[in-house]
Structure 1
Amino acid sequence: MSESLKLVVSRSGSADPCATWQHRTVADDAALAATASEMGLSEAFLRQCLDPDEIPHIDREGEQILLLLQAPWTHEEVTAPLFMDTVPLGILLRPTGVVTISAKPLPLWDRLHRELCGEGARSLQREAFLARFFTELARDFLGAIDRLEAQLEVAKEQLRRSQSNAEFFRLLSLQKSLIYLTAALRGNLATGERLLHSPRWQGNAEEQEQLRDALEDLRQARDTAELMTSTTTNAMDAFAGTLQNNITVAIRVVTAWTVVITVPIAVISIMAMNTPLPLHDWPYAWPVLMGGSFVASGLLYLALRRSQWL
């Protein structure tokens, strides 16, 4: 079902100085149909806000304009195929106000609601709301990249000592998350630039500067994500060889210890045979032979240590 947050947003050029910001979390087809019917729009037009494959763009139906953007979304499940994904969200600019739509209850909406609807909140022009929205969106992307960077460092450290593929696939998941974020940032930047230079943008100098700053933050996040993606790709190529080398080292150590313990085992096996053996009647045969085998094993151990097999 849909959830609604409300904010008074001033419409520039309107006789009525106030209108309503409504946020709708649309989780299923029934909620989508109800929202489309209430807004007087087709379901196909609003379904873009729920389609994860839609790229950011600006669309229009009648007098209502839809800004479709992407926001970062962190998966809570540890076994999720992606550490971080992107989810679509829509900003519907109506003659009577602004409606935001998303399929996920993003923290972005709560922050905007606390800031814009709290005590001392004032009525906002539509452009001021959009500028603030882009600022919070850029903040989310920068925070997402910081979390990804921390996860990457942990994954790289684990992979240095790993002998299994689990850490390698975790690093692959983080790399795919970076690719998704980079693609979303590129689309958001293009849409924001188009909005800024559109005749529909009627913000004042302060609002225009705030939107430019938000776009600059998005650009910084995009550049950082692209650099991290390139670095991670190179690191994965290097760690693929490191993983194989770790397995080789483990096999080499096991082989070396097998050689070390072979001598005492061979002596014990021979002495345990039920057949006449040399020195069979000598009372010191067992301690001498076993002591000699342990000395030989010790010399083998020192030789293997010197050759760095152990």
Structure 2
Amino acid sequence: MLSIYSSAENRQLTKLENIEPGCWINMIDPSDEELIFVSKKTNVPMDFLKAALDEEETSRIDIEDCTLIILDIPFTDMDDNSLTYDTYPLAMIHTDKVIITVCLKNSKILSDFTERKVGSFFTFKRSRFMLQILYRIANYYLIYLRQIDKKSSIVEKQLHKSLKNKELLQLLALEKSLVYFSTSLKGNELTLEKMLKLDILEKYEDDSDVLEDVIIENRQAIEMCTIYSNILSGTMGAYASVISNNLNIVMKLLAAITIVMAVPNMVSGLYGMNVVGIPFATNPLGFWYVVALIGIIGVFAIYYLNKKDMF
């Protein structure tokens, strides 16, 4: 999908039909025809436009006639009615006339700009606009990390009385998401620091300060990711033991009940034998004597097992 936007000074974002100087070209999973069209109109190398279409593309900067910046951005997705988190590469291409963004999936980060949820941005201020995108990326990492923390807390409460693996698998999925986030954030940090050293985007006043703010936000996200990952790792180990212990308690209780229930079966089985000379066989109260014997042995078994903390 190819969309072209433009916002002149003191004017809101508008959608264009053709590529003009100072516009923003947003490409979401573009077709070959769209890639060729944009490449011819902007003279951007095709490999720059296709770079972000590889899911395994790493964060980097490439400079030729134009500047290519690739960063990993966070995404949410639904998997088996559960919210999962992942990252995909986003390419931002800075030319003398336009700014181009390319991504495999539609991101909330860019949607916030197209839906006018971000104020005071202009497509013709290409460097500042790219920095605003970078700042938005760092903010969404922090938002999703807080969501992961809240979700893990909910799962932990469910684990207290759980005997199933469902909750542990949910924690495993969250930990997997944190690994993706941590890897992507560290790669982004290197790219952002390289941007700061190269001064490739310092075209407007205070752009350097904005980039430093982005780096600070990114580092905060890395620290949060590391903390949450360590907590989840310890929690999973602890609650795996809790689930195993809960199962042992249930098995212990069932074993104790089985032992107590075996007492009447054993006594009644002996008196059910067709042999001569069984005690109380001729006594009119013999049945009740046997019942009393079963009760006494049963009470003793319960008392003994209770002393052994089997109940």
Give TM-score, length-normalised by structure 1: 0.83
How many residues align? The count is 300
Out of 34, 59, 64, the residue aligned to residue 62 of structure 2 is 59
Q: Give the distance between the partners of 1:302 and 1:181, measured in 2 at CA.
A: 55
Once the two structures are superposed, the pairs formed by residues 129-278 of structure 1 within 5 Å of their partners are: 129-276=129-276, 277-278=278-279
| Alignment match, 1:97 | 98
Cα distance, 1:157–1:116 mapped onto 2, change above 3 Å: closer
- What corresponds to 1:300 in structure 2? 301
Change (3 A) 1:299 1:63: same
More displaced stretch, 166-175 vs 251-260:
166-175
Whole-Å separation in 1 of the counterparts to 2:32 and 2:121: 34
SS at structure 1 position matched to 2:105: coil
In 2, Cα distance between equivalents of 1:31 and 1:301: 79
The one-character-per-residue Cα deviations of 1:63-98 (angstroms, maximum 9, x if unpaired) are 222110111122211378x93211111111122211
Cα deviation 1:136-192 (Å, max 9, x = unaligned): 111110011111112222333334433343333332222221111011111112212
Q: Distance in 2 between matches of 1:32 and 1:294?
A: 86
Mark the CA change 1:219 to 1:163 in structure 2 (over 3 Å): closer, same or farther.
Answer: same
Q: C-alpha separation between the residues in 1 aligned to 2:33 and 2:247?
A: 53
Give 5+ residue unaligned stretches, structure 1.
11-16
Which whole-Å CA distance do the structure 2 matches of 1:268 and 1:29 have between them?
A: 84
Q: For the aligned residues, what is the CA RMSD?
A: 3.0
Q: 1:27 Cα shift?
A: 5.8
Q: In the aligned structure 1, how far is the partner of 2:264 from the partner of 2:6?
A: 83
Residue number in structure 2 paired with 1:75? 77
Aligned AA (1:6): Y
SS at match of 1:134: helix
Task: Choose the corresponding residue for 1:49, options 43, 47, 52.
Answer: 52
For 1:281-301, what per-residue CA distance to the aligned partner results, in whole angstroms no more than 9, with x for missing partners? 433333332343234323322
Deviations 1:248-289 (A, max 9, x none): 323222211111211122233334444454323433333332
Question: 1:9·1:21 contact (CA, 8 Å) conserved in 2?
Answer: no
Tell me how far 1:124 sits from its aligned partner.
5.0
* Residues 111-130 of structure 1 mapped to structure 2, 5 A cutoff: 111-115=112-116, 125-130=125-130
- Which whole-Å CA distance do the structure 2 matches of 1:134 and 1:121 have between them? 13
1:189 touches 1:218 (CA, 8 Å); kept in 2? yes
CA distance in 1, matches of 2:121, 2:288: 92
Which residue is equivalent to 1:6?
5
Q: Secondary structure at the match of 1:189?
A: helix
Q: Is contact 2:99-2:123 (8 Å) kept?
A: no
TM-score (norm 2): 0.83
- Give the aligned partner of residue 14 of structure 1: none
